[in-house]
Structure 1
Amino acid sequence: MTHEVRAVVARTKGAPVSLETVIVPDPGPGEALVGVQACGVCHTDLHYREGGIGDAFPYLLGHEAAGVVESVGDGVTDVAPGDFVILNWRAVCGRCRACRKGRPQYCFDTHNAAQPMTLADGTPLSPALGIGAFAEKTLVAAGQCTKVDERASAAAAGLLGCGVMAGFGAAVNTGGVGRGDSIAVIGCGGVGMAAVAGAKVAGASRIIAVDVDERKLKWAEEFGATDTVHSSGTDPVEAIRALTGGFGADVVVDAVGRPETYRQALDARDLAGTAVLVGVPSPQATVELPLLDVFGRGGALKSSWYGDCLPSRDFPALVDLHLQGRFDLDRFVSERIALDEVEESFDRMRRGDVLRSVVVL
């Protein structure tokens, strides 16, 4: 049996997305069919549309999603029909060298559904990050489904599927920020804002938000920033040092991913401090560093994959924090839109008018 659903498709590079009829098969072994309730509009979807990730058009966009499992294939035991789940794009294999070492968050052989979803004429679709959730239903590997408390709204919970988890995890999991630490976050979009919020949850004493947009800095204060730096007219490295007794921050998160912001992150950290790259660089970006400075400052230079999260561990925990009132996921939702409004939401995202537009089905 197959299912005809409405879904948002990027047919060709750079062209506006379109609302199409998509054919979704019933789940096979190890797969799950999920009725999507909400899906955030992430920069990654725009990168797919622009051909910045690959050229396997047409793409079925959308990946920051939550919904309800409708059916599962043979061999699936971790989720069942009726479960409220958040979708993730790193279903771990359990067999690779990272998984065998007890570090499945670094799994080197993550997987997605084996069966393709297609256009009505049979053309196979490439689902964004193996999910494709700007759709009424989507087919994923069962390991991409994490059951969470159904009291959380789908619009808020789904954002843990990508950007919010990436930012929170960059600060807490990768950076290891903790009670009494100082942290600076360079770039206050959705990922950077989640790093700010994560640092607050973790008990950081000084949380410095850095951006060129005054609106985002005001939002950062609402998420827990103790200080803000408008970097268009101020040297952010000197400002961060001035706010930390001249030393630099214990942790600096680069949520932009440009050579200049990465260098700022390195220079703005304290001795033995940690710099975390979570912003996605362009393929052409390069960095040249004085090696003696890298050696002399000590500490760590880290990259954060998906916030170094393990969905089965982190998604339920963060939803619980949200329901306790300690981590306000709803604050990330700038607007709720329909499936046919995704293209317009890309324009608002480019202008920095929103943290997240969320498609609600």
Structure 2
Amino acid sequence: MTQQVRGVVAPGKGEPVRIETIVIPDPGPGEAVVKIQACGVCHTDLHYREGGINDEFPFLLGHEAAGIVESVGDGVTEVAPGDFVILNWRAVCGQCRACRRGRPWYCFATHNATQPMTLTDGTPLSPALGIGAFAEKTLVAAGQCTKVDPAASPAAAGLLGCGVMAGIGAAINTGNVGRGDSVAVIGCGGVGSAAIAGSRLAGAAKIIAVDLDERKLEWARKLGATHTVNGKDTDVVAAIQELTGGHGADVVIEAVGRPETYRQAFYARDLAGTVVLVGVPTPEMKLELPLLDVFGRGGALKSSWYGDCLPSRDFPLLIDLYQQGRLDLDAFVSETIELDGVEAAFDRMQRGEVLRSVVTLD
């Protein structure tokens, strides 16, 4: 039997979002219906609204979410009704060449629910990242649900579903930050600040935060940055080199996704150091580097997609660290809002006033 719930829909390119009635089908084989408790407002949702992902409007927005499994379809064994879960947008298949080689975090055949959610007139909705969690309930593939400690705050836990996991994973999984390393993070929004927190967890000795906004640099300090650089009036590469004995950082994490900041990251790393790109570029951007410099400096140039995470492995671990007081997920929650506050939250996000606004639902 279908259900009708409220959800936030982007009706067309650049149009303000609005609250609509969403029709949720019963879960089919391999699917689950989840009652959403909290969902973060991420830049990716704004990219959907602006048509920056694709043009498959209307979109049901929201994806950084936590909630309670309400019902499951046939064949679902990994979660059950009543479980507290974090939603992820990469349910691994277990069968592709990456999964068979023991590298499921690179799964090449991730999947979502097969049934559509719709408007009341039958118009199918495109759920953001296969989730669509700015809604009272949503339908997902059961593999998109990761069971974690129900004592965790939903507003904090849900952020692991995208941006915070991307940043922490960029440092720990992709960058392999280790004890005593020097790390520079360029761009200190939600993802960059999470990379700083991840570097601190990994035991980095020096963590250099780089941004143009003093508010973001202050957030970075609270999350573990040992030094800050305001790139508005400072040569970023020279400043990072000066703070690392003239050598450059062992790992530089670029969390902006622009050619000019990537060049800064490339030249701000030590010889044989690592650059990690976790900022998301737009399709028209091009990068030009002297090939001799790429060869001569050695090291590794990596891209980090979703922090190279494996939700079943990483989400419970990070929630445990949160519960132990070793990872301050609450620090990422700048404000809590209701469903009808998403459009205004986009504005505050664009002005750099928040790390994360989080929609909370009863």
TM-score by length of 1: 1.00
Q: CA RMSD in A?
A: 0.3
Query: Quick one: which amino acid aligns to residue 57 of structure 1?
Result: F
Deviation at 1:5, TM superposition (A): 0.2
**SS of the residue 2:36 aligns to:** strand
Q: Aligned ranges for residues 72-83 of structure 1 at < 5 Å?
A: 72-83=72-83
Query: Quick one: which amino acid aligns to residue 136 of structure 1?
Result: E
How many angstroms apart in 2 are the aligned matches of 1:141 and 1:47? 23
How many angstroms apart in 2 are the aligned matches of 1:218 and 1:338? 27
What's 1:40 paired with?
40
How many angstroms apart in 2 are the aligned matches of 1:237 and 1:285? 21
**SS of the residue 1:29 aligns to:** coil
Pair 1:360 & 2:360 matched:
yes
What's 2:337 paired with?
337
**SS of the residue 1:14 aligns to:** coil
- Which blocks of at least 5 consecutive residues in structure 1 are unaligned? none
What's 1:153 paired with?
153
Query: Quick one: which amino acid aligns to residue 342 of structure 1?
Result: V
What's 2:298 paired with?
298
How many angstroms apart in 1 are the aligned matches of 2:357 and 2:227? 26
Deviation at 1:79, TM superposition (A): 0.3
Query: Quick one: which amino acid aligns to residue 235 of structure 2?
Result: D
Query: Quick one: which amino acid aligns to residue 260 of structure 1?
Result: E
What's 1:84 paired with?
84
Pair 1:258 & 2:258 matched:
yes
Q: Aligned ranges for residues 135-154 of structure 1 at < 5 Å?
A: 135-154=135-154
What's 1:244 paired with?
244
User: Which digits, 9 at most, give the CA deviation of each residue in 1:156-189, with x for residues without a partner?
Assistant: 0000000000000001100000110000000000
What's 1:346 paired with?
346
How many angstroms apart in 2 are the aligned matches of 1:347 and 1:53? 19
**SS of the residue 1:5 aligns to:** strand
Deviation at 1:219, TM superposition (A): 1.0
Deviation at 1:53, TM superposition (A): 0.4
Pair 1:19 & 2:19 matched:
yes
User: Which digits, 9 at most, give the CA deviation of each residue in 1:297-319, with x for residues without a partner?
Assistant: 10000000100000000000000
What's 1:62 paired with?
62
What's 2:227 paired with?
227
Figure out how many residues of one structure are paired with residues of the other and give that number. Answer: 361
Pair 1:98 & 2:98 matched:
yes
What's 2:29 paired with?
29
Moved >2 Å (runs of 4+): none
What's 1:317 paired with?
317
What's 1:114 paired with?
114
**SS of the residue 1:196 aligns to:** helix
How many angstroms apart in 2 are the aligned matches of 1:227 and 1:134? 36
Pair 1:172 & 2:181 matched:
no
Q: Aligned ranges for residues 181-220 of structure 1 at < 5 Å?
A: 181-220=181-220
How many angstroms apart in 1 are the aligned matches of 2:233 and 2:282? 25
- Which blocks of at least 5 consecutive residues in structure 2 are unaligned? none
Identity, % of aligned pairs? 78
How many angstroms apart in 2 are the aligned matches of 1:95 and 1:305? 20
**SS of the residue 2:215 aligns to:** helix
TM-score by length of 2: 0.99
What's 1:51 paired with?
51
Query: Quick one: which amino acid aligns to residue 71 of structure 1?
Result: S
What's 1:282 paired with?
282
Deviation at 1:35, TM superposition (A): 0.2
How many angstroms apart in 2 are the aligned matches of 1:235 and 1:287? 20
How many angstroms apart in 2 are the aligned matches of 1:214 and 1:142? 41
Deviation at 1:325, TM superposition (A): 0.3
How many angstroms apart in 2 are the aligned matches of 1:60 and 1:219? 30
How many angstroms apart in 2 are the aligned matches of 1:181 and 1:138? 42
How many angstroms apart in 1 are the aligned matches of 2:152 and 2:178? 26
Deviation at 1:241, TM superposition (A): 0.2
What's 1:307 paired with?
307
**SS of the residue 1:240 aligns to:** helix
Query: Quick one: which amino acid aligns to residue 290 of structure 1?
Result: P
Deviation at 1:90, TM superposition (A): 0.2
How many angstroms apart in 2 are the aligned matches of 1:141 and 1:260? 38
How many angstroms apart in 2 are the aligned matches of 1:237 and 1:24? 51
Query: Quick one: which amino acid aligns to residue 146 of structure 1?
Result: T
How many angstroms apart in 2 are the aligned matches of 1:26 and 1:193? 38
Query: Quick one: which amino acid aligns to residue 206 of structure 2?
Result: R
What's 2:267 paired with?
267
User: Which digits, 9 at most, give the CA deviation of each residue in 1:210-234, with x for residues without a partner?
Assistant: 0000111011100000000000100
Deviation at 1:360, TM superposition (A): 0.1
**SS of the residue 2:110 aligns to:** coil
User: Which digits, 9 at most, give the CA deviation of each residue in 1:11-67, with x for residues without a partner?
Assistant: 000000000000000100000000000000000000000000000000000000000
